[in-house]
Amino acid sequence: MIKPEHIDDILIYNGVVDFRKSIDGLSSLVQNELNENPFSKTLFLFFSRNRRKVKILYWDQSGFALWYKRLEKNKFNRPKSKDLKSLVINDNQLRMLLVGYDIWKMKPHETLCYEQVC
């Protein structure tokens, strides 16, 4: 997926979504459960219960757009915390998430602090 140019934020809904919902149902969820403006410059990601499907909703300046992906094998990784209703990610994390990386387990190399050279 190529992120539209007018999008500023990417927000993952951390709950389970009934995947029969389409634009109206998902935009209502954004407004009522997340207290977010569905017309904002935000991509909203929703995962199915079995994590094999993702829907991405956004306002495209003249109407809503809904993007859908279904994995034939494997599952998408979601945030582990049940306490969060939503989570903001960046462009790179979105790309990595959509191709299968677990962006929550990725860790940088250990920071090294030395006093002197051998």
Range of the structural domain that residue 17 is part of: 9-98
Distance CA 58, CA 52 (A): 20
- The tens digit of pLDDT for each residue in 26-49 reads 999 999 999 999 999 999 999 999
Q: Of residues 105 and 23, which shows the higher confidence score?
A: 23
- The tens digit of pLDDT for each residue in 39-98 reads 999 999 999 999 999 999 999 989 999 999 998 888 888 777 677 788 899 998 998 888
**pLDDT value of position 36:** 96
- Tally the domains of the chain: 1
Residues belonging to the chain: 118
Position 68 in a domain: yes
Tell whether the model's pLDDT for residue 1 goes beyond 70.
Answer: no
Position 87 in a domain: yes
Position 108 in a domain: no
Position 15 in a domain: yes
